[in-house]
Structure 1
Amino acid sequence: MSTLSERMKEARVQAGLSQAELAKQLGAGQSTIASIENGRNQSSGRLVEIAQLLQVNPTWLASGQGPRKAQAAIDSVDASDQIVVWEKLSDLPPDENRTWIDRYDLLCSAGTGIIQWEIRQKQALPFTIDFFKAIGSKPEHCRLASARGNSMEPFLFDRDMIMIDISKTTVRDGNVYAVCFEDETLVKQLFKQAGGALMLHSYNAKYPDRIVPASEETSFQVIGQVIYRSGSGLPGV
Structure 2
Amino acid sequence: MSTLAERVKLARDRLNLSQQDVADATGMSQPSYYKIERGHTKRTTYINELAKVFEVNVDWLANGSGEMLSGAANKAEEAKRAGSEAIADPEKELARILEAGSVSTDDSDDEMVSIPIYDLYFCCGDGNGSCEFENIKGYRKLPPSFFKDRNIRPEDFKLICAINDSNHPYIKDGDEVGIVITDREIKDGEYYAILLDGDRMIKQIFREAGGSYRLSSFNKAYPDKVVTPEHNESLIIAGRQVYRAG
Q: Which band: TM-score by shorter chain?
A: 0.5 to 0.7
Structure 2 unmatched runs, 5+? 1-105
Residue 124 of structure 1: how far off its partner (Å): 2.5
- Counterpart check, 1:120 vs 2:134: yes
* Corresponding residue for residue 199 of structure 1: 214
Contact 1:115 1:183 in 2 (8 A): no
Question: 1:99–1:107: structure 2 CA closer, same or farther, 3 Å change rule?
Answer: closer
* Corresponding residue for residue 160 of structure 1: 175
Question: 1:115–1:219: structure 2 CA closer, same or farther, 3 Å change rule?
Answer: farther
Contact 1:178 1:186 in 2 (8 A): yes
Root mean square deviation, CA, Å: 2.5
* Corresponding residue for residue 213 of structure 1: 228
1 or 2 for the larger relative contact order (CA 8 Å, sep ≥6)? 1
* Corresponding residue for residue 154 of structure 2: 139
Question: 1:115–1:225: structure 2 CA closer, same or farther, 3 Å change rule?
Answer: closer
CA distance in 2, matches of 1:165, 1:222: 11
CA distance in 2, matches of 1:127, 1:209: 34
Contact 2:125 2:233 in 1 (8 A): no
1:157 partner SS: coil
Residue 214 of structure 1: how far off its partner (Å): 1.7
- Counterpart check, 1:103 vs 2:117: yes
* Corresponding residue for residue 203 of structure 2: 188
TM-score, scaled relative to structure 2: 0.52
Counting helix residues as a fraction of each chain, which structure ranks higher?
2
CA distance in 1, matches of 2:206, 2:125: 28
Higher alpha-carbon deviation: 118-127 or 102-111: 102-111
Summarize the alignment of residues 1-80 of structure 1 with structure 2, pairs less than 5 Å apart: none
Question: 1:212–1:147: structure 2 CA closer, same or farther, 3 Å change rule?
Answer: same
% identical aligned pairs? 30
Structure 1 unmatched runs, 5+? 1-91, 232-237
Deviations 1:9-47 (A, max 9, x none): xxxxxxxxxxxxxxxxxxxxxxxxxxxxxxxxxxxxxxx
Residue 166 of structure 1: how far off its partner (Å): 0.3
Residue 149 of structure 1: how far off its partner (Å): 0.7
Q: Which of 205, 208, 228 is the equivalent residue of 2:243?
A: 228
Residue 211 of structure 1: how far off its partner (Å): 0.5
Q: What is the identity, as a one-letter code, of the residue corresponding to 1:105?
A: D
Residue 169 of structure 1: how far off its partner (Å): 0.3
Residue 115 of structure 1: how far off its partner (Å): 9.7
Aligned length: 139
TM-score, scaled relative to structure 1: 0.53
Question: 1:106–1:134: structure 2 CA closer, same or farther, 3 Å change rule?
Answer: same
